Chain A
């Protein structure tokens, strides 16, 4: 059987793509729309994904017959020649079969508008960079994430200080009271996401959080239609250490929040343990634009569900200087000409 998958319109045979606003599948040629069940009805069952399939190095586009060479982790892509979407089934099979997916909510056109607004606000970005016509390169990608659940238990032991000061005669008195403060507690964490792709910058992926998990559904390859997708190349054990670090900080902060009424509180000792750790491999939607400028990559990422933006632009020092100069002159004018009314 074929290792690549394409969902076709039952009316005209063209490729179907997932349409974020309606949540349906749409044929861009005859404009027919199909529900999930209708798309599924004319494709073979996905049970076969449970079994790890043999990895191939090249694929043939089902639409035009061209040979596709996909990047090692790319799991859904487009044919370079006919732009037909192609899902590489092997890369969603076996241990790479995701458990859940949050479908895209934003369309590419909406994201283009978001990008325009965002880039206009980057006052220090060089004009050359701003005017680059890169906007069409924005791509919707299902990014692989590990979603961790765990229980956590923690204790913090520290010293709190209450300081009061008063003056008497020529002296200022400072009284410091020392307290030993202990807090112990437990909590459960659900679906802590950890970026499972080495290609995508962890820092940026962390910044586009949070996702709303109400939209999280069981994985189906159908959602991949019309988008790019990546498979994980960060093992769950590796991701678990990242998750642990985050969660340990969460519970520590949470316990610390319950310490009130002190001028300062220093944690001297802490014990934190995590248990019942489980993970789900899931695909979460992002829009990505990788903009090269003077040999450096500048990334723009939008959360494909909520529209939260993170990104990075080059900085024009000339613009910074001009801006600082303007502020300087402005403050000076206001203080001299305005200030003269008051002195």
Chain B
């Protein structure tokens, strides 16, 4: 028991030291290129862009390039890297992280906080598509640059109107993304543009009209017992004989993704919620 605790303590100390050393070794805070694919100049350029995104949209942005994910999946590694290295802006640690996993040749974008709502599944898949091309050709700077410019443009657009995870309206005031609780008028305006309401109203109106039109003649109100002589019904045979049985099984298809307007969310090892998506190159 005592040995176990010592072991855990040792592991903790060692990982902390390694962590401190690696952070120290890397000059940049938001571009973590463990494989030195990017030149210092390129890292600087990316850092500058990240800083403007942080300032303008209050979203943290991290780029990580590794070839060892400690046995974790790209998703888990990206989530943990973001959570345990203190990234994120604001109470909900808003921001996003792009992991380029050279071991699996995978790219993964992990979103946290407000970024989950802005970067819906369909937006992330667009971003991944834009990144995968340059990555497969080894153009890491271009891939990172494409990631940042997409991030910027989606952050500017804000939360999509049909996004169903949030109840706030994203507005940009003085070049800063602010969360504003929508007014009643804004809610009405957004519902007016909500197409399913029109379909539901149409279906209800057609169904009621048809039902009312059908019931106009009259109903048959007699039944099988109307003309039956009282107590004259006699059952002379009642047989319920078991014959055979069959059992079939079907695989359950668990729906794994959200639609165009949604962001699918999972919980990382730290307990925080993350969104995201990825692809191979």
Contact = CB atoms under 8 A, between A and B. Distances in A.
Interface residues of B, number: 53
B228 A181 contact: no
B251 A184 contact: no
Contacts of A208: 218
Interface string A312-331: 11010000100111111101
Nearest to B167: A343
Interface string B230-273: 00111111111111111111111000000000000000000000
A270 B213 CA distance: 37
B204 interface: yes
A254 B217 CA distance: 27
Nearest to B232: A188
A210 B201 contact: no
Given A180-B243, A336-B197, A343-B191, A170 B251 contact: yes
Given A171-B252, A173-B247, A207-B218, A254 B241 contact: no
A160 interface: yes
A191 B103 CA distance: 88
B201 A332 contact: yes
Interface core residue of B216, B227, B228, B233 (most chain A CB under 10 Å): B227
26 contacts: A167-B252, A171-B249, A172-B250, A179-B243, A183-B237, A184-B235, A185-B233, A185-B235, A185-B236, A187-B229, A187-B233, A190-B229, A210-B222, A249-B224, A257-B224, A258-B235, A308-B221, A311-B217, A315-B213, A320-B209, A323-B208, A331-B204, A331-B205, A332-B198, A335-B191, A335-B201
B187 interface: yes
A184 B238 CA distance: 7
Nearest to B192: A336
A325 B216 contact: no
A187 B228 contact: yes
Contacts of B249: 171-174
A328 B212 contact: no
A327 B208 contact: yes
A210 B226 CA distance: 8
A124 interface: yes
For chain A, the bracket of interface size reads 35 or more
A291 to B, nearest CB: 14
A59 interface: no
Given A183-B237, A206-B220, A207-B219, A177 B245 contact: yes
Interface in B172-216: 184, 187-188, 190-192, 197-198, 200-202, 204-206, 208-209, 212-213, 216
A293 interface: no
Contacts of B226: 209-210
B39 interface: no
A124 B215 CA distance: 11
Interface in B76-94: none
Closest 4 CB pairs of A and B: A310-B218, A184-B237, A327-B205, A331-B201
A192 B217 contact: no
A293 B16 CA distance: 94
B200 A335 contact: yes
B201 A328 contact: yes
B36 interface: no
Contact of B239 (A176, A181, A204, A327): A181
A177 B246 CA distance: 7
A284 to B, nearest CB: 14
B153 interface: no
A187 B228 CA distance: 7
B241 A179 contact: yes
A275 to B, nearest CB: 13
